[in-house]
A = this chain, B = another copy of it.
Amino acid sequence: MVHKFEQPQEHSPLPLFTASVSVMIQLERSNGVPLYRQIYERLRNAILGGELPEGTRLPTERALARELHVNRTTVMNAYNELASEGLIEGHVGRGTLVKRTYLARELDDEPFEQHMPSWLFSLSAEEELALGHDARLMSEITSLGDQQEVISLAAATPAEGLLPAELLREIVQDDLLTARQNALGYCPVEGLQSLRRGIAERMRKHGVPVDFQHILVLSGSTQGIGLVGRFLLHPGDEVVVEVPTYLGAIQTFRALGARVIGVPIDNEGMRLDLLEAILARRSPRLIYTLPTFQNPTGVIMSPARRRRLLTLARRYQVPILEDDPYGEIYFEGEAPQPLKALDTRGDVLYLSTYSKLLAPGLRVAWLAAPEPLIERLSLHKQIFDLNTTALGQWLVSEILQRQMLDPHLARVRQQYQRQRDVMFQAIQEHWPTGTRVTLPRGGFHLWCRLPGDMRARTLLREAAQEGVAFVLGEPFHIDGGGRQYIRLSYAVSDEVQIREGIRRIGLAMRRIQSRRSPRDEQEELHIERMPMV
């Protein structure tokens, strides 16, 4: 019997064929090449050559073994080789399918493999695929900011002058010797007790009724996204994110094999009408949102949407991961409440960090969530990380206990608000009309749509020559959108650098425009003010 080609069906989530694989394979039993190797090589060539396209279903080992008159282990060995190279994989209910092939081809061409041990050649291309591009981009962004001569409006990192070196030195001077074990030993996976209590107390002040057992201390928010993702998502599961959204979250979810579904954002936050349509039709396992001073747009989700989002999460039984690195960096009125403050059922997993408020180098962040989830995530954290730096935790805990955080944050807010205003003014002064800029009421970023049909990549290249860096809008999108958007951080550079950086970007913009017909000159600079909760 020979498997027939089947047409893909409409409702099938992936193109699906069963190929007549066995007729492709002509085994030579006397040429000295092991049979499994012959099968492997024939299938590999067929996959790389496109003869077996992505999504093709292969026969089971048993079926192919029968047709080729070989032992089943022979086919198994061939399939294992192919799987280890990321060329095929098993799927629940769909059997063994051919995977994305282009990367395997790309890997074949990589030059460094010539002088490497052979086990490195055959590394699976799978995760590389999922993360390579975006992660490289992020590395480039980070390293651009490292160059002293470049003005960085790219990194979402605190201004050097606001890194609390004086506070930390004072704490170390006073108490490190007596706190030796707490500050320098191993500490519980869940975090230092004193810090968990301090964090819970502060969250209660912001309207979130939690106690220390709801807090898991993390080595940065990124770890939190990874832990929650690893726990809730299986490869192929869907996760809903805002579009645009924090690019680090997109790449972590993708690296876990999740399918990322985007819901556009407007100036009240995530478009819940569109979210509901997705929840009604599909079964995402997680909704990821930055409701307060969203990254990159600066948008704050309206109170009505917040309540509605919780209703939807409950109705469709999907947990929400609220990422809130910027909630305490507000420039007007009171501290905005987290979405989690409205959550009465434990549907919201709340993530925040001291990287923006104090110092990224401390690596202290936290998750607030129902206790059983904290317990389970602690086990995962232990497996891959053991625990978060005790030194960083102890320092943050001391800052909280000594009431040093609020005076520090008062300085932080004042300085960033001033820097935001300086950046905004400089844009009005130096940039051509037709640019659209959001004016956020908190956080680190301005989100800008470039004038006319100007592409962000073109501008980045041009601006690099002027010695100024920013972040492209594209990686914040999941669909190739955002090509005309850029994100500017006003946090990391001082006022003089900000003004100069914006001036240089303006120069670059005009140079691009001067090379083409000036058809957008009539447009006004457009400003969107974000509503405050």
Contacts and interface: CB of A to CB of B under 8 A. Distances in A.
Interface in A76-117: 76, 79-80, 82-84, 88-96, 112-113, 116-117
Contacts of A80: 92-93, 283
Contact of A92 (B88, B285, B382): B88
Contacts of A112: 372
Contact of A186 (B58, B157, B394): B157
B382 A184 contact: no
A295 interface: no
A405 to B, nearest CB: 15
Contact of A226 (B283, B383, B392): B383
Given A117-B346, A136-B379, A61 B94 contact: yes
A91 B90 contact: yes
Given A135-B383, A372-B116, A383-B251, A184 B362 contact: yes
Contact of A385 (B72, B180, B220): B220
B186 A176 contact: no
Contacts of A237: 84
- The secondary-structure label for the interface of chain A is helix
B376 A389 contact: no
Contacts of A183: 165, 361
A90 B93 contact: yes
Contacts of A82: 92
A139 B378 contact: yes
B163 A389 contact: no
A183 B283 CA distance: 44
Nearest to A389: B363
Contacts of A88: 92
Interface in A344-367: 345-347, 355, 359-363
Interface stretch (A118-126, A265-273, A421-429): A118-126
Given A60-B95, A372-B116, A384-B223, A163 B186 contact: no
A93 B360 contact: no
Given A89-B92, A142-B186, A383-B135, A181 B169 contact: no
Q: Which of A60, A184, A285, A380 has the most CB of B within 10 A?
A: A184
A370 interface: yes
Contacts of A188: 142-143, 146
Most central of A79, A126, A142, A389 by chain B CB within 10 Å: A389
A483 B392 CA distance: 38
Nearest to A157: B186
Interface string A452-484: 000000000000000000000000000000000
Interface in A168-216: 168-169, 172-173, 176-177, 180-181, 183-189
Contact of A319 (B117, B223, B319, B384): B117
Contacts of A387: 220, 363
A517 B520 CA distance: 98
A80 B236 CA distance: 10
Interface residues of A, number: 119
Contacts of A529: none
Nearest to A179: B165
A361 B94 contact: no
A221 to B, nearest CB: 8
A248 B386 contact: yes
A196 B472 CA distance: 30
Contact of A163 (B119, B165, B180, B394): B180
A97 B49 CA distance: 31
Contact of A90 (B92, B146, B169): B92
Contacts of A173: 169, 172-173
Contact of A222 (B11, B181, B226, B384): B384
B132 A379 contact: yes
A18 to B, nearest CB: 9
B234 A117 contact: no
B94 A90 contact: yes
A56 interface: no
Contacts of A252: 383-384
A113 B138 CA distance: 40
Given A80-B92, A119-B317, A142-B189, 6 more contacts: A88-B92, A158-B185, A222-B385, A223-B384, A360-B390, A392-B392
30 contacts: A11-B71, A58-B93, A60-B94, A79-B92, A80-B92, A88-B92, A90-B93, A116-B372, A117-B345, A117-B370, A119-B347, A120-B319, A127-B230, A138-B382, A139-B378, A142-B186, A142-B188, A143-B188, A160-B180, A165-B180, A168-B184, A169-B177, A172-B176, A184-B360, A186-B361, A223-B386, A226-B384, A248-B386, A360-B390, A389-B392
